Amino acid sequence: MIRNFFLKLKVRYLLFLLLLGFIININLFYLSSIFLFLKFYLKKNNILFLLASYTFLSFMIFDYAMPKLTLEKSDYYTKSNIEYDINKFFGYFPKKDTVFEEQIYFKDNLLKVNKYNINSYGHRKTYRSNLKDDDCIVLFGGSITFGQSLNENETLSSLIYLKLNQNKSVYNFAFNGYGPHQFLSKLNNNYYQEIKNCNKVSFIYFYIDDHVGRVVGKRSWGDKSPRFVIENGNLIQKDFFSSYPFKIIMKIRKNFRNSKILSLLHNVNLANTEDELLFVKILENIEKKAKSKFPSSETFYILWNRDDSNFKIVDIFFKNKKKIHIEELNISQKYLYNNIPGDNHPTKEFNDILSSIIINNFFGEM
């Protein structure tokens, strides 16, 4: 009876089930694939169906078991009360006018408490030399620039401000998981009230290779982030990565990440040439938009190729820019990572060294 029931199912329903299972849940994908084998092979050869069933069942067991078998229990864990809001243009950001606390433990012993002061613009606490803001520095990027796992006096922005003897106002537009696309969306949609009084502006972007994948939605986070596309040579924003129809692609990528088997067939996190072109287009637009809104502005770059990626198009873009290569600074390895499993952001000593180099290379002081 069950056999006859499956044989009577029409192909379009099976294909719909396959698509639905693939989008919603990887395990349903396996089951619906077995149903397809039922439809096409059961009439002709039961052995084929049996082999196919065993194969997909093995895949399911493997995908269920592997994460549990390979999961290493860490003695480190973090407690955080951070909250998020969504802006309709640039997406997620830390809740405004709040102070979040993060507690880092090792074997139930409290190692460190980090506090994140978020101002009325949804950015980390900034430093103003005066109300006129004649000369400003604006940093943008991801968690390294934001200062993840660091207190206010340990961030790159605060150290630059202090070492410049408070002669410039310094602003931090970065946040965890960000790339340059959030900053471009802020510029495009006039979300720069915090620096509207600035005259001369120095923009500093802290680049890591992972940002290329972020701007095209190839990461497991950041679905509530601005999605940019190139149409007829022009860069335009098309809502978020979480908006339909692109949301379907995000779900398919999630299913690949959740499956060890499918991940072996295709790594959805890898960036390609088209991704590089989009990434560079975003940076070009940031420079143009920044220059149009702040004529006396200049853009500088800090480059850290942490993923050993080979991005030729990105390298060509940075070739003639004013930049600092982290790999060329010979900073001690012990400062590059904080040695907290699952975190591994740079230390306060890293920011202390880098801030001095930034000031010397970009501003000719110290």
* 99 domain residue, yes or no: no
Q: What CATH number has the domain bearing residue 343?
A: 3.40.50.1110
Supply φ then ψ for residue 245, to 5 degrees: -90, -5
In a domain, 247, yes or no: yes
Lowest mean pLDDT among 42-51, 136-145, 246-255: 42-51
The whole-angstrom distance between residue 307's C-alpha and the CA centroid of its chain comes to: 13
Amino acid, single-letter form, for residue 319: K
Which residues make Cβ contacts (< 8 Å) with residue 58, sequence separation at least 6? none
What pLDDT digit, counting tens, does each position of 79-99 carry? Answer: 999 999 999 999 999 999 999
Do 314 and 197 share a structural domain? yes
Q: Are strands 323-325 and 298-304 parallel, antiparallel or unpaired?
A: parallel
Instruction: Give the pLDDT of residue 70.
Output: 58
Whether 47 and 142 share a structural domain = no
User: Is residue 56 pLDDT above 80, yes or no?
Assistant: no
Q: Say if residue 175 is in the same domain as residue 37.
A: no
* Block residue for tokens 């194969």: 55
**What is the pLDDT, as a whole number, of residue 165?**
81
Residue 352: pLDDT above 90? Answer: yes
* The amino acid at 185: S
Q: How many domains does the chain have?
A: 2
Last residue in a domain, options 70, 89, 107: 70
> How far is Cα 283 from Cα 130, in angstroms, rounded to an integer?
30
- pLDDT above 80: residue 57: no
pLDDT at 278: 98
Q: Of 70, 95, 119, which marks where a domain is finished? A: 70
Confidence at residue 305, expressed as pLDDT on a 0 to 100 scale: 85
**Residue 314 region by backbone torsions, left for phi larger than 0, else alpha for psi between -120 and 50, else beta:** alpha
| Domain, as residue range, for 201 | 129-363
pLDDT value at position 365?
65
The pLDDT of 332-339, averaged and rounded, is: 92
pLDDT value, residue 29:
59
Among 20-29, 62-71, 103-112, 139-148, top mean pLDDT goes to 139-148
- Say yes or no: 142 and 61 in one domain: no
Residues 246 and 329 in one domain: yes
Shared domain for 149 and 29, answered yes or no, is no
Q: Are residues 214 and 323 in the same domain?
A: yes
Q: Is 329 helix (H, G, I), strand (E, B) or coil?
A: coil
Token pair 């192909």 is at which residue? 11
Burial class (CB in 10 A: 0-12, 13-18, 19+), 117: middle
278-316 pLDDT per residue, tens: 999 999 999 999 999 999 999 999 999 877 778 999 999
Question: Which residue blocks in the chain are alpha helix, DSSP H?
Answer: 2-8, 11-24, 26-41, 46-70, 143-146, 156-163, 180-188, 210-214, 246-258, 260-265, 273-293, 312-318, 333-336, 348-363
Give percent helix, percent strand, percent coil of the chain, each to the nearest 5. Answer: 45, 20, 35
| 132 pLDDT more than 90 | no
What pLDDT sits at residue 72?
61
Among residues 27, 45, 70, the one where a domain terminates is 70
At residue 252, the pLDDT reads 83
Cβ pair 91, 119 in contact under 8 A: no
Q: Give domain status of residue 75, yes or no.
A: no
Three-class SS state of 253: helix
Q: What is the dihedral of CA 105, 108, 110, 114, to 10 degrees?
A: 30
Of 64-73, 119-128, 134-143, highest mean pLDDT: 134-143
84 near 94, Cβ under 8 Å?
yes
Given a cut of 70, is residue 6 above it in pLDDT? no
Decide if pLDDT at 31 tops 60: no
Residues 228-243 have pLDDT tens digits of: 999 999 999 999 999 9
- 336 occurs within a structural domain: yes
Instruction: For 196, list phi and psi in degrees, rounded to 5.
Output: -65, -25
pLDDT over threshold 70, residue 217: yes
Whole-number Å distance between alpha carbons of 336 and 349: 9
Residue 126: predicted pLDDT:
82
CB atoms within 10 A of CB 329: 12
Q: Which residues, including other chains, have CB under 8 Å from residue 30's CB and lie 6 or more apart? A: 21, 56, 57, 59, 60
Angle subtended at Cα 12 by Cα 257 and Cα 21, rounded to the nearest 5 degrees: 20
Confidence band, pLDDT 50/70/90 cuts, at residue 264:
confident
Q: How many CB atoms lie within 10 A of CB 42?
A: 16
Residues 224 and 332 occupy one common structural domain: yes
Do 26 and 134 belong together in one domain?
Answer: no
Whether 223 is covered by a domain: the verdict is yes
Average pLDDT over residues 183-208: 95
Q: Which residue, among 334, 333, 339, has the nearest Cα to 76 in the 3D structure?
A: 339
Average pLDDT on 197-207 reads 95
